[in-house]
Structures are given as structure tokens and as C-alpha cells.
Amino acid sequence: MQRLQIFLILAASIFGFSASVQAQTRSASLMNFSSDGQFVACSNRDSGTVSIVSWPKLEVQHEIAVGLHPEGVAWIGTSHKIACCVYGDDAIAILDADSGKIDRRIDVFDEPYGVVSTQDGHKLYATLEFPGNVVQLDPAAGAVTATWQVGQMPRGVSISRDGRFLMVTEYLTSKVLQISTVDGKVLQTWEGASTDNLARQVVLAPNDQKAYFTHIRSRITSSHGNGSIFPYVSVARLTGEKAGTRMRVPMDSLLGARVTANPWDCDVSADGKRLGVVFAGTNDLYLCRILPDDYVELEYEQGMRLGNNPRAIRFSPDDKALLIYNALDFEIVVLQVPNGVEIARAAVTKNPMSEELLLGKQLFYTALQPMSARSWISCASCHPDGDADGRTWQQPEGLRNTQPLAGLSWTHPVHWSADRDEVQDFEHTIQGLLMQGQGFVKRPLPDALGESFSGKSKSLDALAAYTNSHKSSLSPFAKNGLSKSAQRGQMLFFSASTKCATCHSGPMLTDSQPRAVSDLMRHDVGTGKDDPSELMEPKYDTPTLLGLYRSAPYLHHGKAATLKDVLTQCNPQDEHGVTSHLTASQLDDLVEFLLALPFEDPEPAAKATGLKQVIK
């Protein structure tokens, strides 16, 4: 420790890092500098904490417990206060970096992801992924002062120098919105292609003329390792001849044919000349020169291999160093700009998971071997943080909508067709066409429903343990309990007239439970006819209905855009429960109930009922 400190002080004097630059946090990220450059704050999603680290010494001053799944952090104006989005607790925590204490928590409706502050620190703006709001907050009063409906699943947010507008990204469409801070009006939008997906943070260039954001492209027509998922940095142009247009720069052809995966965050240097990007799937950093044109935009300058799952990147205030947050190594690494030489690293939190879950999570997030040969795809490319990617993929067996993984341990067998009975069977996905990885078990692989893979490989068991560990979060539609309408819907759901609960039964609202292959429980609910590419039987595993509020589109083929579509146009013959007799307002009530699931933690009841749980 002593030696590291001396080295850091030496490094600081040689490389001339200074802490004197005044820079406002203009973009939400998991990691940000205080305006005086004295501190870095980073939020530790797994630990549920925010760490305050001194700069350039890199000593952890405080680690503050904030709650479930903290995401974006921003320093408030020029103060030493920090705003942190506590995504899982639906609150913005205001922290004091000097005392290491929480000043207050401001409740927001649901799922705050990104936050920025005005230069004077009087106002904050945060994105609420659900229900698609940007909220304005007064941090001193601890109050939400305005709520604006802006779009679907907003995540990233960046504020202009004059504080007049915000740039916001939509997660599952990668759309970028320019929003007035006066009244929340959407001033301009930059639409993505229908394939563009998973856009998180967005950063504005120092002159506010361009905004940069990372995302992937999900080419759902081919679920194949040779490029179904591609990494991008896109540029939204605010001024000049091409104002209003956007361009995506492919990150898998920036350096020859070298492939990277899951770009997670990027940052522009204070002089506006460079952009750094981290790739959480291949553990890469690319440093790019920003070209002053509207044609090429970015040119590769330098690349570095990082530690596990880099999720945030920030230039030091004087642009001489890059800080990387390796989420699954629980550390910050400092690299010299532009040569990438490592200057320092420091642990910011401890691994809060078991070693097995950590290994499983690292495997789930990596697009490197033994998981994947071509480096484009990781499990997390389609199941980010255990959620679905909102896409329906053309699989060899037919159209298949990506399922969220919440509650999975209670609802084995898995897949829409119940064609896998344990997560270890995803060895078929790893070694198959999609990922083409080396995998963990020697070929030929036994049939997925045949001999068990469990216990054959520590790594595969760890992947299963992590995949099975996702829990469902309570629906925002049931914040104040079930509404009157949802209560009426509940009666209908459990009534003999609709029959819903005959299959969607028990605490997990499904009859899917581990069984012998010979008596697998699947149902033909009339949905198998709508897809000419379908190669399996028209019988499907009953899905859990917990978390429906955020998992559109619906059904195995994703052809129901809304829950109402499931009950109406996708159920013309009353084969999927009985719905044709319901009046319009009864249908609304039923949908209201489905949106409110889960309204309580299902696990205690699942345990009490003796449901079989598969931990790994």
C-alpha cells in the first residue's frame, strides 16, 4: 500500500495530473469526477454501494451503502455532493463525499438510471426507465419538481453547457431525444435503425455539437455467431449541414477485422479530440481520434485489453489519463493517454457474491473463449442484467422471443418449448452456431433433455447458478397495492370463466416445474400456427407472468405487441383461456392485473407451497 501510494504521487508529478480543472458532470455514468477533480465516485451495482475515491491518489475515502442496484452517479454542481440513481429501490440518493453519509433519499416513481446536475447544482435531471420519464429534482429540497413523459425506457442522459437541453437515449430502440429543460418538450429526435439496441450512456462533445453513445445492433434474422450482434458507437449531430442526422461507426471494423462486443460506455476528452470506449463483452478499450468531419467521425488510435466487464470510462480532468471501471473485478484502473500504459489500479469494493456466482457472472458477460469463438456475442448481449432484449430471434426451430430470466430457478424446464431441463444445457448454445465457443464439455453433447450436464464442469455449474439467480422485481403498477381495476382483473384471472389459472397456476403463475421428460407439461394454446418457420410442435411451456410490464412483445413468436393483443387478436378461438366473452372494460381490467405482476415477492409462497427450485 505504502509503495503504491509513493508510486502514485510520483506518477502524478511525472505525468502532471492536476486536480484543479473545474469540470461539471455533464453525462451520467457509473463513474464520474467531482468538478474540482479531487474525487471520483463510482457505483457498485452488485455491492449496492457508491465508492468515493481520491484523485490522483486513488484512495477509497468512503464506500457508502445506497441500496439495490445503484446505476448512474453525478456530482451536484461544484459541490462535494453526489446524486446516485438507486435503480432497484426507485430512489435518488444524495450523498456527501466529505462525510461519507447519505444526506437524503428522494423517492421517484420507478427505475432511475441516469442523472445529471445543472452547473449551479440547483437542479438534477434523471431518467426513469419505467415509465419512460425524465424528472427534474431539487436536491436541496429533496423533491421531484417536474415529471415529463419522454419516450420508452430512457437510460442515458447528458446536459448541455448552457443547461438548456438534455440528450437522452432510449434503451431498446437506441433512439436519441433532445429534451428542453424548460418544459420537458422533445425538441428533436434521432431515430435508430430497427436493429439498433441496448443504448445506455450518452456524452455531449465539449462544444455541444455532437453527442456520442454506444449501442449494439441485433440482427434478429440470423441467430448465428458470424455476426448477429454488432458493436457500435453512434454520433448524433446537433449542428452543421448534417444537423439532425446520426451515423453509426462500426466498432468491429475500426481496427481491421478485430471484433469487440457489448460497448457499454464512452467519454470525450475535455479538449474534444478523443473518444474512449469500453467493451464489456471483450474487455477492450478503444481510444479514438475524433475527426472534425461529418463523414468518418472516429479513427482508431490505440487499444488496450482490460480486466473483467468494463462498464464505465472517464478521462481525467486534464485528459492525461483514462479511468476504467472493471465491474466484475471491482476495481478502477488508470491508463496513460494516449499510449495506454497502466499507471495504477485500486479496488473500490469487495466481491459481494460467492466465488461461484462471480465466475458464472463473468462467463455470462464475456464474448471471449470458452464462451464464444468470434467475440461478437455473450449471453448478456441478449439477456442484459437478466432482462430480455425486447427482440424476437429467428432460431432454427422458429421465431423465439427472448425471455427475461427473473424467477427462472422456480420455473424449470426452460425455453418456450421446454426443450431444455437445466441451464447447463446452454452448453448447446455455447458450442452451437450462435456462439461457437469451445465450451466446457467434450463433444458429442448428449441431448439437452437426455443425460444431465450438471456436475460435469465447475464453470458450467457456475453459469447455471448465476443464470438461475435472477429474481423478479415488484411491478411499478402495484406501488400502492392492486388498483380497483386490477382487483377486478384478478377475479377474472382466477375465475372458471377464463380458465387462466389452470395453467398459470401457483405463486409463479405457471405449471412449469421440473418433471420427467416422459411427462413434460406443455400446452397448445393455438399460437403455433402463426409462424410458417416453426419446426416444433404447437405446444409450449407455460411462461411465468411475473414481470410482464417490461417484457413486451409477448408470446413465443413475439407477435403480440401488447397484453391486450395476447387476449384478443392472438386468441381468436378461445384456445388460450377463454376471453371472447369479456367486455372491453373487463379486458382492460385483466390487462391491468397482468401489468401489476408481481405485486408481492413470490418466493416465500413458492417455498411454502413446496415448488421445486433449481439453484444450479
CA gap 188, 178 in Å, rounded: 5
Q: Is 465 in the site for ligand HEC (CB under 6 A)?
A: no
Does residue 459 interact with ligand HEC by CB under 6 A?
no
Which residue in the block uniquely carries the three cell numbers 463483452? 281
Cell of 402: 427472448
Task: Find out whether 303 and 312 touch, Cβ atoms under 8 Å.
Answer: no
Q: Which stretch binds ligand HEC (CB under 6 A): 208-216, 289-297, 342-350, 378-386?
A: 378-386
Asked if residue 156 binds ligand HEC (CB under 6 A), the reply is: no
Does residue 383 interact with ligand HEC by CB under 6 A?
yes
C-alpha distance across the termini of the chain, in Å: 39
Site for ligand HEC in 47-106 (CB under 6 A): none
Binding flag, residue 554, ligand HEC (CB under 6 A): yes
Note whether 348 binds ligand HEC by CB under 6 A. no
Query: Could you tell me which stretch among 52-60, 146-154, 513-521, 537-545 binds ligand HEC (CB under 6 A)?
Result: 537-545
Which span sits near ligand HEC by CB under 6 A: 115-123, 332-340, 478-486, 555-563?
Answer: 555-563
| 260: its cell numbers | 469487440
Considering the rule CB under 6 A, would residue 408 count as an interface residue with ligand HEC? yes
Contacts of 27 (CB under 8 A, 6+ apart): 116, 156, 157, 158, 159, 201, 202, 203, 204, 267
Residue 326 as a binder of ligand HEC (CB under 6 A): the answer is: no
> In which residue are the cell numbers 453513445 written?
213
Piece in contact with ligand HEC (CB under 6 A), picked from 93-101, 208-216, 251-259, 543-551: 543-551
Q: Least distance (Å) from ligand HEC to the CB of residue 559?
A: 9
Least distance in angstroms from the C-beta of 506 to ligand HEC? 13
In whole angstroms, the minimum distance from the beta carbon of 336 to ligand HEC comes to 35
Q: Smallest distance, Å, CB 610 to ligand HEC?
A: 21
Q: Are 230 and 212 in contact (CB under 8 A)?
A: no
Cα–Cα distance, 103 to 391 (Å, whole number): 40
Check: CB of residue 592 under 8 Å from CB of residue 486: yes
Grid cell 457474491 is found at: 353
Least distance between ligand HEC and beta carbon 521 (Å): 9
User: Segment 174-233, which members bind ligand HEC (CB under 6 A)?
Assistant: 223, 228
Least spacing, CB of residue 307 vs ligand HEC, in Å = 21
Q: Does 504 bind ligand HEC (CB under 6 A)?
A: yes
Shortest reach from residue 379's CB to ligand HEC, in Å: 3
The answer to whether 27 contacts ligand HEC (rule: CB under 6 A) is: no
132 and 157 Cβ atoms separated by less than 8 Å? no
Distance of closest approach, residue 525 Cβ to ligand HEC, in angstroms: 5
Distance set, CA 251 to CA 259, 264, 573 (Å): 7, 12, 48
Exactly one of 358, 367, 368, 545 binds ligand HEC (CB under 6 A); that residue is: 545
Contact call for residues 76 and 83 (beta carbons, < 8 A)? yes
Binder to ligand HEC among 35, 214, 429, 485 (CB under 6 A)?
429
Stretch that binds ligand HEC, among 232-240, 245-253, 314-322, 496-504 (CB under 6 A): 496-504
Pick the binder of ligand HEC from 264, 416, 440, 477 (CB under 6 A). Answer: 416
> In the set 426, 440, 453, 549, which binds ligand HEC (CB under 6 A)?
426
Torsion of CA 275, 276, 279, 284, to 10 degrees: 130
Which of 76, 101, 102 shows the shortest CA–CA distance to 89? Answer: 102
Cα–Cα distance, 285 to 304 (Å, whole number): 5
Q: Indicate the Cα dihedral angle 381, 387, 389, 395, nearest 10°.
A: 80
479 binds ligand HEC (CB under 6 A): no
**Binding of ligand HEC at residue 502 (CB under 6 A)?**
yes
Most distant CA pair in the chain, distance? 78
Classify the C-alpha dihedral 291-170-265-115 as positive or negative. Answer: positive
**Which distant-in-sequence residues (6+ apart) come within 8 Å of 144 by Cβ?**
106, 108, 135, 136, 137
Residue 45 or 383: the one with the smaller Cβ distance to ligand HEC is: 383
Extract long-range pairs of 585-591: CB within 8 Å, 24+ residues apart: 586/488, 586/492, 588/485, 588/564, 589/485, 589/486, 589/488, 589/489, 589/492, 590/489, 590/492, 590/493, 590/498, 591/489, 591/562, 591/563, 591/564, 591/567
Q: Per rule CB under 6 A, is residue 551 in the interface with ligand HEC? A: yes
Establish if 500 lies at the interface with ligand HEC (CB under 6 A).
yes
* Residue 384 contacts ligand HEC per CB under 6 A: no
* Residue 304 vs 405, nearer CB to ligand HEC: 405
Q: Binders of ligand HEC among 569-598, rule CB under 6 A? A: 576-577, 579, 590, 594
Residues that bind ligand HEC (CB under 6 A): 223, 228, 377, 379, 381-383, 393, 395, 400, 402-403, 405, 408, 411, 414-417, 423, 426, 429-430, 434, 463, 467, 493, 498-500, 502-504, 523, 525, 527, 540, 542-543, 545, 548, 551, 554-556, 563, 566-567, 576-577, 579, 590, 594
